[in-house]
Structure 1
Amino acid sequence: MSKKDKDAVDNFINYLKIKAVHPEPDYGESIRFLKEQAQELGLPCKVIEIVKNNPILVISWEGTNPNLPAVLLNSHTDVVPVFPEFWKYDPFSAHKDEKGDIYARGTQNQNQIMNINFHCISKLENIKFSINVSFMLNYLPLEEYIEAIRRLKAEGKRPLRSIHMSFVPDEEVGGHKGMELFVHHDEFKKLNIGFALDEGLANPTNAFTVFYGERCVHWVEVTCSGNPGHGSRFVVGDPGTKMRKVINSFMSFRDEQEEKFRSDPSLRLGDVTTTNLTCLSGGVQPNVIPAELKAVFDMRVTPTVDLAKLEQTIAQWCKDAGDGVTYKFLQVGLPAIGFSPMNNTPILLHDHNELLNEEVFVKGIPIYIEIIQSIANVPA
């Protein structure tokens, strides 16, 4: 093993020893370690503390064209509890055995589900992805992200697009004090993220697993504005008539998808798009035709659907319902891919004796180098 590979493994082991473990994680050591990494990389970093004692750290590598949407490499600093009596070694000792297996909480996965979904249509190297990735992040990509950037900088390379590495707290218990708030914060918006890379899953075989698509959550709020009046009259252009047309359009689409699902036993629920009317609001009293009515539809869109075309369809439904009918999406999405170069590795995320072999870790670094370069150099 080369010296730079050995140094990378040592960094990995040192970070695994930090006990930012629930229910009372101490993030101080994690932030100190990451600040040192930023200093070694010669890159600026910023700590954002939206919730006290739950710091978010961002390390940034400015691209040659920082005005382009940037790339986010995200990870988190907390880990799930351990039961030491079931471990071969102390789960925070990062013990490396004679085979090179490193035992520690976080070697494969620090978390299970992040409380934010990134979804969009992304075109990357002529591949179209419709994505809704629930983040699964761990120490592995964190350290490999850092090491990949370290080596790219050492070679004198600089990406076209800026790259931001974010390290967030509280993920293991829902991200309510971390990423959930961060995505709405001005500091996140300043990053101008256009693409996110996150972790996938170990694969016991020689293959690698890439997560590129799940059903996208589309919460669509439709507002029907129109002429108000007395409840005893036939008012032309009233919101209720428009809303009926909108509801009919959404629910007819629902019927089509349900029929498709029911008529083909080979289909799973994720192979079709579900649509449900979940909220209705408006009106002031029983005998007054209101000037505005609102409806919210919960759509779960299968990855095979072109999201741009779906939005065009929704826009047409609103147009067909009459003047004054508008729609908006109630959440924001980003294109993302979930991938961890952990092949020939048993799946032990959150399990006892979580481990990763040092050779698997080292082989993942050049893979990340290629991926990061490809993503960060996609032309405008």
Structure 2
Amino acid sequence: MKCVGIQYLETIRRFIEDGKRLKRSIHVSFVPDEEIGGKEGMGLFVKSDEFKKLNIGCAFDEARASPTEVFNLSNKERTLWHMKIHCPGTPGHASLLHDNTAAEKVHYIVNKFMAFREEEKTKLKANKNLTIGDVTTVNVTMMTGGVQLNVLPPEFVLAVDCRLAVDRNVDEFLAMIQGWCQEAGDGTRLEFIVKDEYTPPTPLNETNKWWITLKEAFNSVGVHVKVQSTPGATDIRYLRRLGIPAFGFAPMNNTPVLLHANDEFLNEKTFLRGIEIYYALIEALANM
């Protein structure tokens, strides 16, 4: 999020230029590894004495672009699981019809994931008030195994990306996948690459003084927001787990959603307006 990082820094530069003296300190963090789970970046940072000494009251992080005039604001996000499903099977010559092959187990597991995926797609299409962050997504992203066209492999391995909706019970979901592995056949097993814990949402009500102040600041600059769940996983979840109120907000309205796509862009006027918006929001929170 180069645009957001630059907007943060430009906002602080303008505070200094304008001689602003705020009641609270502002800290900006740039940490690595967010795209691969953040465990070695923000995950370690929040456990450090350096972080604890900052005495953080609330935090901002990124949010999705919005193709409409309304801006996106997130107070919650889905639980990220990256998994590998190991499907061992009978090896041998491909001219035979062996039982208990790796491909048969893959077939069973993939069908289960695809059926679940279709249920979530149907749920999303049936309710126009839902966004992608409100449903659970599962996608098979890689499959490895095999060395030769005429040889049955001893194992296929599926890589699966799961993003669990906030209202989905993580224990029940795990039990369901483990059940599929048992049903697929002997030796089929689940390995976690990333297994995030459930992260409670930041409350958006009268109990959260930061939200009351932020909402007033939005109104003061004429910004209308739509609250939604972040579809991906951001570093802000590490702060929410500590009970720190945290808001996902990026001033990118009238902008197509091109996450990780070719030619992702932000209009110059939208970018510059975003600095003005951050100026008002951060000043309000830092003077609370």
Q: TM-score, normalised by structure 2?
A: 0.56
Residue 292 of structure 1 corresponds to 155
Assess, with a 3 A threshold, how the Cα gap between structure 1 residues 189 and 314 changes in structure 2: closer, same or farther.
Answer: farther
Shift of 1:358: 7.8
Shift of 1:78: 9.2
Assess, with a 3 A threshold, how the Cα gap between structure 1 residues 281 and 186 changes in structure 2: closer, same or farther.
Answer: farther
Matches of 2:11 and 2:168 in 1, distance apart?
A: 44
Higher relative contact order (CA 8 A, sep 6+): 2
Shift of 1:170: 2.7
Equivalent in 41, 48, 53 of residue 182 of structure 1: 41
Equivalent in 325, 328, 333 of residue 191 of structure 2: 328
**Residues 217, 284 of structure 2: 8 Å contact kept:** no
**Residues 136, 163 of structure 2: 8 Å contact kept:** yes
Q: What is the root-mean-square deviation in Å for CA atoms of aligned residues? A: 4.5
Shift of 1:281: 0.8
Matches within 5 A, 1:308-323: 308-323=171-186
Matches within 5 A, 1:1-380: 80-82=8-10, 90-93=14-17, 95-96=19-20, 102=22, 140=26, 169-171=29-31, 181-182=40-41, 199-200=59-60, 212-334=75-197, 335=199, 338=202, 341=210, 343=213, 344-346=216-218, 351-352=275-276, 354-355=279-280, 361=286, 363=288
Shift of 1:287: 0.9
| Structure 1: stretches of 5+ with no match in the other structure | 1-21, 24-76, 108-138, 143-167, 202-209, 364-380
Shift of 1:243: 1.0
**Residues 183, 189 of structure 1: 8 Å contact kept:** no
Assess, with a 3 A threshold, how the Cα gap between structure 1 residues 325 and 190 changes in structure 2: closer, same or farther.
Answer: farther
Matches of 2:125 and 2:111 in 1, distance apart?
A: 21
**Residues 89, 100 of structure 2: 8 Å contact kept:** yes
**Residues 140, 161 of structure 2: 8 Å contact kept:** yes
**Residues 58, 210 of structure 2: 8 Å contact kept:** no
Structure 1 counterpart of 2:279, which letter?
E
SS in 1 for 2:194: coil
Could you say which structure has the higher helix fraction? 2
Aligned residues: 207
Assess, with a 3 A threshold, how the Cα gap between structure 1 residues 289 and 264 changes in structure 2: closer, same or farther.
Answer: same
**Residues 84, 190 of structure 2: 8 Å contact kept:** yes
Residue 47 of structure 1 corresponds to none
Shift of 1:354: 1.0
Shift of 1:305: 0.7
Shift of 1:310: 0.6
Assess, with a 3 A threshold, how the Cα gap between structure 1 residues 265 and 186 changes in structure 2: closer, same or farther.
Answer: closer
Identity among equivalent pairs (%)? 22
Shift of 1:296: 1.5
Shift of 1:355: 4.1
**Residues 8, 275 of structure 2: 8 Å contact kept:** no
SS in 2 for 1:95: coil
Q: TM-score, normalised by structure 1?
A: 0.44
**Residues 81, 196 of structure 2: 8 Å contact kept:** no
**Residues 137, 164 of structure 2: 8 Å contact kept:** yes
Assess, with a 3 A threshold, how the Cα gap between structure 1 residues 359 and 240 changes in structure 2: closer, same or farther.
Answer: closer
**Residues 275, 297 of structure 1: 8 Å contact kept:** yes
Matches of 1:184 and 1:322 in 2, distance apart?
A: 36
Matches of 1:94 and 1:83 in 2, distance apart?
A: 10
Matches of 1:187 and 1:356 in 2, distance apart?
A: 24
Structure 1 counterpart of 2:171, which letter?
A
Assess, with a 3 A threshold, how the Cα gap between structure 1 residues 183 and 225 changes in structure 2: closer, same or farther.
Answer: farther
SS in 2 for 1:217: strand
Q: Deviations over 1:152-207 (max 9, x none)?
A: xxxxxxxxxxxxxxxx8534x9868xx6643687996999xxxx996258xxxxxx
**Residues 80, 196 of structure 2: 8 Å contact kept:** no
Structure 1 counterpart of 2:217, which letter?
T
Structure 2 counterpart of 1:182, which letter?
G
Structure with higher Rg: it is 1
